[in-house]
Structures are given as structure tokens and as C-alpha cells.
Structure 1
Amino acid sequence: MTTRPPVPPFTTVEQARAKVQAAEDAWNTRDPERVALAYTPDSVWRNRDRWVTGRDEIVAFLTDKWKREQDYALRKELWGFRGNRMAVRFQYEWHDADGRWWRSYGNELWEFDDEGLMRRREAGINDVEIAEADRRIFGPRPEEERDQALPF
């Protein structure tokens, strides 16, 4: 059985932040196969208005997402945690095929199994078009910016 530390129950802020940072780091690779390994084989997602179930669907979903959302770069922030659940807020920036830049804002609810794999993810996301000059997320988060709060 695969274990993805830290594992629940999450009892300290440091543990919870480490889990959030690990998720941010993985998503910033834009590698659907790698990202999918952090989820249970039967993981269930609600992403915006779409339901995704299982690793194969996660890989297909992320492959399509990162074809559309080009130069995707993400930041996540711990909002709260208890036991095997977390609330996270996030922002990411990307551009579409026409070169328009977007910042996507959202919140996620996460539930983990005993091995630290995510078995449930619910995400609400809103997109705001931005000027390229207004970008503030450029690739993976540098070490010196970890644990910094996201701006509004």
C-alpha cells in the first residue's frame, strides 16, 4: 500500500501546511500521472461543475486542463484542518490559446484516507481575466515565499 506523508490525523499546523505545499508542488509540475498518484484509485472530485472519479479520469481531466490552461502556475494556502480533512484556498494564473491571461481563484475541501491519499476533493473556482502586466505568479513557489498568505 502507498503512503503519502504526512498522514492523518493532522494535528499540527506544520503537518497540514506540509501537505498543502506538497500538493502545490505536485500540481506545478503539470504532470497528470504524478499528480494522480496522490489520490486514491477511486478518488471522487467535484471540480467546478464536473465530477471526476478515479485516477484514470483524473489523468484525463488534468491532461485536458493543462492543454487549455497554458503556462499554469499555482499557489495554495491552508485555510483550516481537522482530523483527516482540510480546507484550502488557492490562486493560479494561466493563458489561453488566444494569449489572454487569467487568474483563477478557488477553495477546495479535501478528505484523506489513513495512508495520506486524497479520497475526496471538492473545488469551487472563478476565473478573472487579467492583463499580462498584472501577473504575480511565475512558476513554482520559491523557497523563501513558502507559507506566505495569498493576496486578495
Structure 2
Amino acid sequence: MESEIANATLRALRRVLRATEGGTRRLATATGLTPSQLLVLREIDAGDDVTPGLVAQRLQFSHATITAIVDRLVALDLVSRTRSEQDKRRMLMKATDAGRRRLLEAPDMLQVKFETAFAVLPGWEQAMILAGTERLADLLGAGDADAAPLLDAGEIDRE
């Protein structure tokens, strides 16, 4: 027997997925980047002496995911990597001029829209949304998945 609540929840989840897919397509058309690539590029451009570990920590992505994304951004000449002068073991990353231009071209991502709307909710409602979303991820078997599900280290078709 199907539950009305379960069906309503699945419909809401499908709406969220459609919004995410639409945002991903708009981003790809405008910039040629995936949402994960744009997030990493923004983190790199946001500071000085940015390391892969710092970006992984801030975005809660695995180091392997950051490495794959940064490799792609370097190949696209959007990010440069250099060794630290003080500690040769540290790899420092910086957005190139082309990378900064790409950031300016990027439409408002779904994440920015979400963060703005989420921030004005009362704390109890934020906590409820977090708890429900985490539980939903567990129900779908995505509890331990990386925070970068839309990672696409390859080319994006802009057409």
C-alpha cells in the first residue's frame, strides 16, 4: 500500500532534482563548468595561499575530488598551481585571469539562491530541514557519499 506522504515526498524530491538539473544546465551553458568546478574555483579565488586541503575542508569534499576538479581547472587554464616558497611540500592555487572572468560570467547558482533563502529561516526550521535531508540521503543510500555528486571532470557540451 502506497503512502500519500511518501508519494508527496517523492514529488517534492523530483522538483528539487529538476531545479538542480536546470541550474546545472544553465551553469554549463554560461561557463562550461559543473557546479562542483565552479564552487572550487570560487574557493580558490576567495583567498591567498589556498591549498587543496583548505578547499576540501571548506567545501567538505574529499581530497581526491578536489584533486580531480583542480586538474580539470588547470587544464582549462582557469587555475594555476605553484609550490610554496616557504614549504615546498605545500601546493598553492590561484585563479587565473580567465578563471576570474569565468566566475563573472557564472549565473547565480542554485546554492547561492538556497543559502540566501535558508539564512532567513529560524534556527529550528533550518535544523528540521537538515535533519530531514540527512535522513533522506540515508534512505536513498547516499549517507556516506561525497559532497560533490555533480562532479564532472570532463568536458561539458555548451550546446
TM-score (norm 1): 0.28
- Which one has a larger percent strand, Structure 1 or Structure 2? 1
- Which one has a larger percent helix, Structure 1 or Structure 2? 2
Question: Which structure exhibits the higher relative contact order, with contacts defined as CA atoms closer than 8 Å and separated by 6 or more residues?
Answer: 2
TM-score (norm 2): 0.27
Q: Report the structure number with the largest CA radius of gyration.
A: 2
